[in-house]
Amino acid sequence: RPIIKRALEGGINFFDTANSYSDGSSEEIVGRALRDFARREDVVVATKVFHRVGDLPEGLSRAQILRSIDDSLRRLGMDYVDILQIHRWDYNTPIEEIY
């Protein structure tokens, strides 16, 4: 939290995390700190999907992406993220289903 606060004070406004960093607790920590130290509209938040977290298997099926983003938003305590990235390619899901 002190690092995030210091970053905001230094003018940094882009924060990147992922559902799999520390099994989701990274999103919780980043989200809580940003709620405490910044206005949501003043920061850009990115997260990623793919890796297994909790009971959610890894992958990029439509269902997995939707569940991942819902879980990430809950952990972040936010209504939206600005950038959603795939953490890595999923060879088991057709590209038409991902995009």
Angstrom CA distances, 11 to 27, 38, 40, 44, stand at: 21, 11, 14, 12
Distance, CA of 45 to CA of 60 (rounded, Å): 20
pLDDT at 69: 93
What is the number of structural domains in the chain?
Answer: 1
Instruction: Please say if the pLDDT value at position 92 is more than 70.
Output: yes
pLDDT digits (tens, 9 = 90+) for 23-79: 889 999 999 999 999 999 999 999 998 766 666 666 778 888 888 899 999 999 999
Active site residues: 21
Q: What is the residue range of 93's domain?
A: 2-98
User: For 78-89, how does the pLDDT look when each residue is reduced to its tens digit (9 = 90+)?
Assistant: 999 999 998 877
> Can you give the pLDDT at residue 21?
81
- Which of 75, 78, 97, 77 minimizes the C-alpha distance to 86? 97
CATH of the domain at 90: 3.20.20.100
CA distance 30 to 75: 9
Q: What is the pTM of this model?
A: 0.85
